[in-house]
């Protein structure tokens, strides 16, 4: 591995990250007033789909003075040779770092760093407490939340923040991004799926017939953002992972209306309770597979008790749609990193893996070493069955239904290579494995589900496609690959390269 996280270079707050993006030419500030009603969404989508810089909306219609909104970052860049620079620099890595090297460096830093107990600040020292709305002052409609897509069920305020919750016994604090929409000035609702940790913890409070204290931190520091989509096991705090990544304590501060600790440098903190026994219709919201689901689901009311915010706060946003946007990168990158760690911990011979962004993170591409057979003594059938049974029985395996296993020569983040391997190395019958007895959380937001599945609210079929060249003939020589790199003797290649420019080729 060639890249290592430089902790000194990690931006310390969302604001510092935005300033760095501005310096790097990755950000455009719009000073004209823009409308939250579809206009912000259209600008965001056009920017994502053309690989333009990240938009920052300095003036949004109906927002309280000073409130801004921005792309929360980490999307793909059009900068030549540096597509993942917005992600790389967030972790103190050089902007040209290739995606799989960013993954290796991120995993290494998280595994080697130490979690430090939080430094708990007094409210007077915490930037997120510079301003405060309580009681009748609370008006969520004055925060520049977008009606993001035509067809969304409302203005989604929480698309890129951290929901922070504690179990009733206080032993586990979970951070995760789960969307939420404004119902009225002081009420929201959002997704509280029982299989997600936020829904799991809410279930514990509901069993006790109690309202659950809840906080949402919007515009958090890069190390905290890395944990927004993390899929570490239950009863493990995402705070510890963020702190390990930095190998430092994080500055935290207590909420005004509960004992929940929130990142002190967050742009906006929404405090409240998730009520026992009430519901509101949630959805639809345009989603990351690239479609608008057509259903609403009853989810609990989130009653807001206090809002605190920095001066001139910036609301971070993720407005998902067709790939590649910041939702694919953030969700795909961080969940794939956790998936690789989980598979390795289970003893599977895995090098790395990526939820392919171009495939709307619906393909988990896993790279395995050429000598997997010698290492394990397993047949291909054994290996693939173990893989599926390990992955889809863990929390980490709940968001994806298709796995592609590729060999050492394929970069799992390179769509061209992955598509070639899938097309030429997967046998549609003999090296394709189904897992009818297992279920993923799959909530039907992809476009391929048949009506019966949706009606039964079942997970979808799970499949592993082995795309290994030596799949059914372990021990036999591999087919030779007909490429410049692999097929020609070194002196011939060298001669070609040495004369390339002189002959008039430019790249
Ligand atoms: C930008 C973004 C938006 C997300 N939106 C949702 C969402 O609305 N609902 C949901 O269940 N998961 C959503 N996720 C995925 C979860 O954050 C992810 O599954 C995470 O593992 C959940 O945390 P947990 O493991 O603590 O449950 C989103 C992730 C990202 C990066
Ligand atoms: Mn969790």
DSSP state of 427: -
Expressed in angstroms and rounded, the spacing between residue 108 Cα and the centre of ligand 1 is 23
In terms of Cβ atoms closer than 10 Å to its own Cβ (0-12, 13-18, 19+), residue 22 is: middle
- Output the pLDDT for position 211: 98
pLDDT at residue 125 is higher than 70: yes
Fold match flag (7-317 vs 346-486): no
The answer to whether 380 touches 454, Cβ cutoff 8 Å, is no
Q: H/E element holding 375? A: helix 372-376
**Is the dihedral angle over the CA atoms 342, 407, 84, 285 positive or is it negative?**
negative
The answer to whether residue 199 scores a pLDDT higher than 60 is yes
Q: Output the CATH code of domain 346-486.
A: 3.40.1670.10
Band of pLDDT at residue 460, cut at 50, 70 and 90 = low
Stretch 97-120: mean pLDDT: 97
Query: 131-147, pLDDT tens digit by residue?
Result: 999 999 999 999 999 99
> Residue 20: pLDDT above 80?
yes
Digit-coded pLDDT (tens) for 424-458? 999 999 999 999 888 877 656 787 877 777 777 65
Task: Assign a CATH topology to domain 7-317.
Answer: Pnp Oxidase; Chain A (2.30.110)
Q: Among 248, 267, 287, 446, which one carries the catalytic annotation?
A: 287
Residues having CB closer than 6 A to ligand 1 are 159-160, 174, 176-179, 191, 193, 196-198, 228-231, 318, 327, 330-331, 399
C-beta separation of 301 from 280 below 8 A:
yes
- Average of per-residue pLDDT across 322-333: 98
Task: Report the nearest atom of ligand 1 relative to the CA of 330.
Answer: 31
Listed by start position, the domains of the chain span 7-317, 346-486
- Burial level of 281, CB count in 10 A (0-12/13-18/19+)? middle
Quickly state the pLDDT bin for 459 (edges 50, 70, 90). low
Q: Catalytic residue at 485?
A: no
Number of continuous H segments (helices) and E segments (strands) in the chain: 14, 23
CA of 65: how far to CAs of 16, 58, 68, 199, in Å?
A: 22, 10, 9, 34
What is the sign of the dihedral through the CA atoms of 71, 47, 3 and 92? negative
Classify strands 268-274 and 212-218 as parallel, antiparallel or unpaired: antiparallel
Percent of the chain with pLDDT over 70: 96
Atom of ligand 1 nearest to the CA of 177: 17
Pairwise CA distance, residues 351 & 341, whole Å: 10
pLDDT at residue 472 tops 60: no
Give residue 441's pLDDT.
Answer: 72
| Residue 331 · residue 361 · CB < 8 Å | yes
pLDDT tens, position by position, 43-93: 999 999 999 999 999 999 999 999 999 999 999 999 999 999 999 999 999
């Amino acid at each position: 591995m060639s890249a290592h996280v430089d902790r000194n270079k990690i931006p310390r707050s969302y604001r510092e990250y935005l300033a760095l993006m501005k310096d790097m030419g990755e950000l455009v500030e719009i000073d004209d007033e823009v409308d939250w009603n579809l206009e912000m969404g259209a600008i965001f989508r056009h920017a994502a789909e053309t690989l333009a810089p990240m938009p920052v909306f300095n003036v949004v219609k109906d927002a309280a003075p000073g409130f801004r909104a921005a792309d929360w970052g980490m999307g793909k860049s059009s900068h030549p040779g540096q597509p993942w620079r917005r992600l790389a620099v967030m972790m103190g890595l050089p902007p040209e770092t290739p995606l799989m090297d960013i993954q290796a460096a991120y995993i290494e830093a998280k595994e080697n760093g130490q979690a430090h107990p939080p430094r708990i600040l007094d409210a007077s020292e915490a930037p997120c407490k510079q301003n405060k709305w309580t009681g009748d002052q609370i008006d969520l409609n004055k925060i520049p939340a977008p009606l993001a897509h035509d067809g969304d069920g409302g203005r989604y305020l929480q698309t890129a923040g951290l929901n922070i919750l504690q179990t009733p016994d206080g032993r586990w604090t979970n951070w995760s991004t789960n969307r939420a929409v404004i119902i009225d000035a002081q009420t929201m609702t959002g997704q509280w799926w029982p299989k997600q940790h936020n829904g799991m913890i809410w279930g514990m409070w509901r069993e006790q017939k109690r309202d659950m204290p809840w906080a949402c931190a919007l515009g958090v520091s890069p190390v905290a953002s890395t944990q927004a989509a993390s899929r570490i096991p239950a009863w493990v705090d995402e705070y510890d992972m963020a702190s390990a990544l930095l190998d430092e304590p994080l500055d935290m501060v207590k909420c005004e209306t509960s004992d929940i600790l929130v990142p002190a440098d967050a742009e906006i903190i929404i405090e409240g309770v998730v009520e026992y026994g009430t519901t509101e219709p949630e959805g639809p919201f345009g989603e990351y597979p690239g479609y608008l689901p057509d259903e609403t689901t009853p989810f609990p009311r989130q009653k807001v008790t206090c809002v605190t915010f920095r001066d001139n706060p910036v609301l971070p946003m993720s407005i998902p749609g067709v790939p590649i946007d910041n939702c694919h990168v953030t969700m795909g990158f961080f969940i794939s990193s956790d998936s690789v760690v989980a598979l390795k911990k289970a003893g599977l011979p895995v090098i790395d893996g990526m939820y392919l962004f171009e495939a709307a993170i619906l393909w988990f591409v896993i790279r395995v070493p050429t000598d997997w057979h010698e290492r394990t003594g397993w047949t291909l059938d054994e290996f693939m069955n173990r893989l599926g049974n390990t992955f889809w029985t863990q929390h980490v395996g709940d968001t994806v239904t298709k796995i592609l296993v590729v060999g050492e020569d394929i970069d799992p983040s390179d769509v061209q290579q992955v598509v070639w391997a899938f097309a030429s190395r997967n046998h549609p019958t003999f090296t394709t494995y189904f897992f009818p007895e297992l279920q993923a959380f799959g909530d039907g937001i992809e476009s391929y589900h048949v009506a019966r599945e949706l009606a039964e609210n079942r997970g979808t079929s799970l499949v592993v496609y082995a795309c290994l060249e030596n799949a059914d003939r372990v021990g036999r020589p591999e087919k030779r690959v007909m490429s410049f790199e692999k097929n020609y003797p070194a002196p011939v290649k060298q001669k070609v390269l040495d004369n390339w420019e002189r002959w008039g080729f430019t790249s």
